[in-house]
């Protein structure tokens, strides 16, 4: 069984011990996680460079670069140009994560909106798929993506999706993908489990969002890519599928979404 963790933060800010990132990656391979998308956003602007450095040490890994909405206040035109330069790395296969977060409001909302629009436009120019973060925005993230043509490029994925079935259907109808995290294993996540049952199989990705949101039976621990296996097992059970078949489908979907050369 081959698994693809489509969204993990293997940032030394999250895994700071000497050799910790390599150890996490080794445990992932031992668990059947042959492929990783290392997200270059979420721990400040420097996350992008650190993601590339981590990816370069890991077989079967690719990465994204971007600026998380929490860090939008760090934005400058010079940093935008620096992101474009980093995106030229041959194993950078997406922009993000980008979006809006009105739950924490770590950056001013108008700044979040402007930085999201810039990144969507950059993704279209570069021909890269987009990784979207959307939390408590009342549909505004979706509206901005429509306005800026985010669904008209290679594609986009709503990562760590926590919306309703109706919102999932709206995203899929527009051409997007849905990525399900370990929250699907939590006791009170009934809506997410219904989304996991009903999202079209060819639009489904799985992720850990490590180091956050460790699935049952590891809840409360630092999350890591090896634990994506539990996400696959849970969703397979919900859909009445064999776990290996679910793993194969979501791995193929990730290769298609990120436009990687071949599954293997």
Q: Residues 221-239: what's their mean pLDDT?
A: 98
Q: What is the pLDDT of residue 59?
A: 84
Q: With 60 as the cut, is the pLDDT of residue 61 above it?
A: yes
The mean predicted confidence, pLDDT, of the chain is 96
264 pLDDT band (50/70/90 cuts)?
Answer: very low
Q: Residues 205-219: what's their mean pLDDT?
A: 97
Q: Residues 3-30: what's their mean pLDDT?
A: 94
User: What are phi and psi for residue 34, nearest 5 degrees?
Assistant: -85, -15
Write out the two tokens for 72.
């939008």
CATH of domain 3-257: 3.20.20.140
Digit-coded pLDDT (tens) for 29-60: 999 999 999 999 999 999 999 999 998 888 88
Query: What DSSP character marks residue 202?
Result: G
127 burial (CB, 10 Å; 0-12 / 13-18 / 19+) is: exposed
Of the listed ranges 18-27, 64-73, 194-203, the least confidently predicted one is 18-27
Of the listed ranges 92-101, 114-123, 149-158, 193-202, the least confidently predicted one is 149-158
Q: With 90 as the cut, is the pLDDT of residue 153 above it?
A: no
Q: With 80 as the cut, is the pLDDT of residue 263 above it?
A: no
Query: What DSSP character marks residue 60?
Result: T
Write out the two tokens for 132.
């979207």
Q: With 80 as the cut, is the pLDDT of residue 147 above it?
A: yes
Domain boundaries, the chain: 3-257
């Amino acid at each position: 069984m081959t698994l693809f963790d489509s969204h993990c933060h293997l940032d030394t800010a999250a895994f700071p011990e000497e050799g910790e990132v390599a150890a996490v990656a080794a445990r992932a391979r031992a668990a059947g996680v042959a492929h990783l998308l290392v997200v270059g956003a979420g721990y400040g602007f420097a996350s992008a460079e650190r993601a590339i450095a981590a990816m370069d040490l890991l077989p079967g890994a690719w990465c994204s670069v971007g600026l998380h909405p929490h860090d939008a206040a760090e934005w400058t035109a010079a940093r935008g140009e620096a992101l474009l330069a980093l995106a030229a790395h041959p194993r950078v296969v997406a922009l993000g994560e980008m979006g809006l977060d009105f739950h924490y409001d770590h950056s001013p909302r108008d700044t979040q909106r402007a930085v999201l629009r810039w990144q969507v436009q950059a993704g279209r120019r570069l021909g890269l798929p987009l990784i979207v973060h959307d939390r408590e925005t009342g549909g505004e993230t979706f509206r901005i993506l429509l306005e800026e043509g985010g669904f008209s490029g290679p594609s986009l994925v709503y990562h760590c999706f926590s919306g309703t079935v109706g919102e999932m259907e709206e995203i899929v109808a527009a051409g997007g993908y849905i990525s399900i995290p370990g929250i699907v294993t939590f006791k009170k996540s009934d809506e997410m489990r219904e989304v996991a049952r009903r999202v079209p199989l060819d639009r489904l990705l799985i992720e850990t969002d490590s180091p956050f949101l460790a699935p049952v039976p590891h809840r409360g621990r630092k999350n890591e890519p090896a634990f994506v296996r539990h996400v696959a097992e849970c969703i397979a059970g919900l859909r009445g599928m064999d776990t290996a078949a679910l793993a194969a489908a979501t791995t193929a979907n990730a290769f298609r979404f990120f436009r990687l050369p071949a599954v293997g």
